[in-house]
């Protein structure tokens, strides 16, 4: 029972079992899910950010359990890391842009964050690649996506600074 719950958690309810590009599907579902939470249900960005931090720590343990007997320490079906990495720029965007926003502006921003995150997660510029190559455990699986998410934040902050 606990193994099944852990499997559903690390694969985000089986999204990780999608044959082609499961990480991109997980990122897309995360983006849509967060849009729903923030703009349909009006959840507080701070509450969501705290939840993501909690999910991060649970993931360190859960992914470790999932990969402990596997030869591949970063299997494609583990996509909770994409959820965490994609959530970082979206949550920080929502915190920094609190208040009423045009839906078209939000959708455009979410789309840009989705694309940028996927690019950084796939290309793996340093230090994303460092965590991917040097930590063959749950920390490495998750941290490369966290850093990819932070790269998105850095690009967006740079864009805002240059356009102000």
User: Degrees (nearest 5) of the Cα angle 146, 151, 154?
Assistant: 125
Distances in Å between the alpha carbon of 63 and those of 8, 39, 82, 109, 159?
A: 11, 30, 13, 30, 34
Specify the pLDDT at position 75. Answer: 87
Give residues with Cβ within 8 angstroms of 78, minimum separation 6: 10, 11, 16, 63, 66, 67, 141
Q: Which two tokens stand for residue 53?
A: 């931090």
Specify the pLDDT at position 74. Answer: 81
Could you state, in order of their start, the residue ranges of all structural domains in the chain? Answer: 2-162
pTM value is 0.94
Distance linking the first and last C-alpha atoms of the chain: 53
What is the pLDDT tens value at each position of the chain, 164 positions in all?
899 999 999 999 999 999 999 999 999 999 999 999 999 999 999 999 999 999 999 999 999 999 998 888 888 999 999 999 999 999 999 999 877 679 999 999 999 999 999 999 999 999 999 998 999 899 999 999 999 999 999 999 999 889 87
């Amino acid at each position: 029972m606990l193994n099944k719950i852990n499997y559903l958690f690390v694969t985000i309810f089986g999204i990780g079992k999608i044959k082609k590009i499961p990480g991109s599907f997980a990122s897309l579902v995360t983006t849509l899910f967060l849009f729903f939470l923030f703009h349909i249900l009006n959840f507080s960005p701070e509450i969501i950010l705290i939840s993501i931090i909690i999910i991060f720590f649970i993931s360190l343990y859960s992914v470790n359990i999932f990969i402990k007997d596997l030869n591949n320490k970063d299997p494609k079906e583990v996509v909770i890391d994409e959820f965490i990495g994609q959530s970082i720029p979206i949550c920080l965007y929502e915190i920094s842009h609190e208040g009423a926003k045009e839906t078209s502006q939000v959708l455009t921003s979410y789309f840009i964050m989705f694309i940028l995150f996927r690019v950084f997660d796939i290309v793996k510029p340093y230090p994303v690649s460092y965590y991917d190559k040097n930590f063959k455990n749950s920390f490495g699986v998750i941290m490369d996506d966290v850093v990819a998410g932070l790269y998105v934040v850095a690009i967006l902050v740079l864009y805002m600074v240059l356009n102000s």
